[in-house]
Amino acid sequence: MNATVNSLRITSLLLLQMLCVQQLSAAEQVNPISGEELTKQTQIYQSRGEERPDGYVINRSLLSYSATLPSDFGRALANLEEGERWLDIGAGEGRAILDYCTGSYDGSYYKGEARTGKKARAVAISIEDRRTDQWHQTAASLDENHIRYLSGRTLSEYSKDELGKFRVITDVLGGFSYTDNLARFTASALSLLEVNGSLYTVLQDVHAEKGENKPHYEGSPFLTEIKDVDGSELRVCSWLKRIGCVEVSCEFKAAFTPPIEVYRIQKVCNDVTVPALTTEHYQAGTPPERRFYLRQSPARQATSTP
């Protein structure tokens, strides 16, 4: 698929999402996401070269992943066996997967602990096709489908049969930071995890679980906020810990600019239920400014099926 057709497809998908959002009842949707904001966000996704805005990084290395994500991520990746699989959401150029697949990979700080033999299989997902010559050359040098690159669709548009199951899922400022439907995205990601597998992800500029940190940008709110059913603040970590069938750890890293909170979400059984959220505010950015509120009815919970 050429870049023009791919860009048109993404624009159509985002506009369709907007129409679906606008069809929600007033009780579910306070401020429908405007077409203007979705257009701005689409332009960010499609940006190339010098037009790509600061903060929209597409070439994060595996070393960057290890420095950003929870401390046990490196060991989890090093322990993957040949028959297991890793999914990287928001992979950009797929550099982290390429780093993993090179012969020099030694377990990312766990030298000598990485499994011997062939590496686990890996799948990269990106809203835009950002593959480089290095990706194509590496893919050609490996067994067929040892690494795959999927683009042009959001995570929830892939079926579980199409993607399969994964032992490790990563999202470093990908869909978890950019989606306009946080509950649906989280349910989709967890549905792809094996039992005892883990999702590693991160948010910038968010109210930490135990911290008293203030928003990084003066005069602005946190980039991602959730309101409880009574209108009080519900911190993202607390919302994640309300998900059924998972164990969650949250770690605040104040040394980053903006500060970040990183999450490890381990799936411990298949009956996953994600507390449903409604989007109240979405402003395009890198990442966007988002505000959600918790729906009261348990019947509206997002579900991750086995």
Q: Which domain holds residue 275?
A: 3-304
Q: For the residues 10-36, what does the mean pLDDT come to?
A: 49
Q: Is the pLDDT of residue 11 over 50?
A: no
Collapsing DSSP to helix, strand or coil, 44 comes out as helix
- Residue 48, domain CATH: 3.40.50.150
Residue 117's pLDDT band, with cuts at 50, 70 and 90, is low
Residue 210's pLDDT band, with cuts at 50, 70 and 90, is confident
Closest to 186 in 3D by CA, of 228, 243, 226, 229: 243
Which single residue is written with the structure tokens 């377990």?
107
pLDDT of residue 299: 42
Q: Is the pLDDT of residue 258 over 80?
A: yes
Closest to 93 in 3D by CA, of 139, 40, 50: 139
Q: Is the pLDDT of residue 72 over 80?
A: yes
Q: Is the pLDDT of residue 1 over 50?
A: no
More confidently predicted of 20 and 284: 284
Q: Report the number of distinct structural domains present in the chain.
A: 1
Which single residue is written with the structure tokens 């979705």?
38
CB 296 within 8 A of CB 229: yes
Residue 302's pLDDT band, with cuts at 50, 70 and 90, is low
- Alpha carbon 274 to its chain centroid, in Å, reads 15
Q: For the residues 101-107, what does the mean pLDDT come to?
A: 71
Q: Is the pLDDT of residue 104 over 90?
A: no
CB 246 within 8 A of CB 265: yes
Residues 252-262 as b/e (b if ≥16 CB within 10 A, e otherwise) read beeebebbbbb
Q: Is the pLDDT of residue 65 over 50?
A: yes
Residue 250 per-residue DSSP state: E
DSSP β-bridge partners for residue 148 = 123
Q: Is the pLDDT of residue 111 over 50?
A: yes
Q: For the residues 175-183, what does the mean pLDDT come to?
A: 97
pTM: 0.86
d(CA 238, CA 205): 16
Sheet holding 193-204, edge to edge: 147-151, 121-126, 85-89, 166-171, 193-204, 260-267, 246-253
pLDDT of residue 39: 93
Q: Is the pLDDT of residue 27 over 50?
A: no
DSSP β-bridge partners for residue 273 = 244, 303
pLDDT of residue 116: 60
More confidently predicted of 104 and 62: 62
